[in-house]
């Protein structure tokens, strides 16, 4: 029996969905690594679920904008130092340690990040800065739009 048109409009395009769960898992890992309580770790299977996840994440990140800004500020202070010589401290060091630990131990969020784990973690941290802004909901939607 064919699905009604409205159900088809709300379903996920299977060809586009492969990247979104990993993007979302990275966002979830970064939030947890910052020590922000994350009550939901849903990987959406419909556009309406995606909208709910985006609303939830945008609110959560906006509520923790100060923490994210402090971490990114510390990260920015290290920007002029060559990557091999950087010594992260404070929030950034704790974030990187937790991100690495969570990426290998979190059963719901398994990711194989390889040797570039710190650069991936730092990239996601800077993404969180954008997602925590007033336009964060729009940025999140554009990153997760393949659903």
Average pLDDT, the chain: 82
What residue ranges do the domains of the chain occupy?
17-143
Question: What is the model's pLDDT at position 33?
Answer: 94
What is the spatial distance between Cα 97 and Cα 86, in angstroms, rounded to a whole number?
Answer: 15
| DSSP, residue by residue, 31-99 | HHHTT---------SBHHHHHHHHHHHHHHHHHTHHHHHHHHHHHHHTTTS-GGG----HHHHHHHHHH
Alpha-carbon torsion, ordered 103, 109, 110, 111, to 10 deg: -60
What is the spatial distance between Cα 40 and Cα 18, in angstroms, rounded to a whole number?
Answer: 20
For 24-72, write each residue's pLDDT tens digit.
889 999 999 999 999 988 888 888 898 999 999 999 999 999 999 999 9
Residues 86-92, mean pLDDT to the nearest whole number = 87
Q: Which of the two residues, 17 and 114, has the higher pLDDT score? A: 114
Nearest alpha-carbon partner for 55 in 146, 123, 144: 144
What is the spatial distance between Cα 121 and Cα 26, in angstroms, rounded to a whole number?
Answer: 8
Range with the lowest mean pLDDT among 19-23, 56-60, 80-84, 98-102?
A: 19-23
Element (H, E) at 8: helix 5-10
3-state class of 144 per DSSP?
coil
> Rounded to two decimals, what is the model's pTM?
0.81
Q: Which of the two residues, 43 and 15, has the higher pLDDT score? A: 43
Question: What is the model's pLDDT at position 58?
Answer: 95
């Amino acid at each position: 029996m064919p699905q009604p048109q409205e159900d088809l409009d709300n379903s996920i395009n299977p060809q586009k969905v492969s990247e979104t769960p990993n993007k979302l898992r990275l966002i979830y890992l970064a939030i947890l690594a910052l020590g922000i309580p994350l009550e939901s770790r849903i990987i959406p299977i419909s556009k309406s679920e995606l909208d709910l996840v985006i609303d939830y994440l945008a609110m959560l990140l906006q509520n923790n904008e100060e923490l994210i800004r402090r971490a990114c500020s510390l990260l920015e202070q290290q920007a002029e130092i060559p990557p091999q010589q950087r010594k992260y401290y404070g929030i950034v060091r704790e974030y990187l340690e937790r991100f690495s630990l969570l990426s290998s131990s979190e059963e719901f969020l398994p990711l194989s990040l390889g040797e570039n784990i710190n650069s991936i973690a730092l990239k996601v941290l800077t993404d969180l800065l954008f997602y925590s802004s007033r336009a964060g909901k729009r940025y999140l939607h554009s990153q997760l739009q393949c659903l």
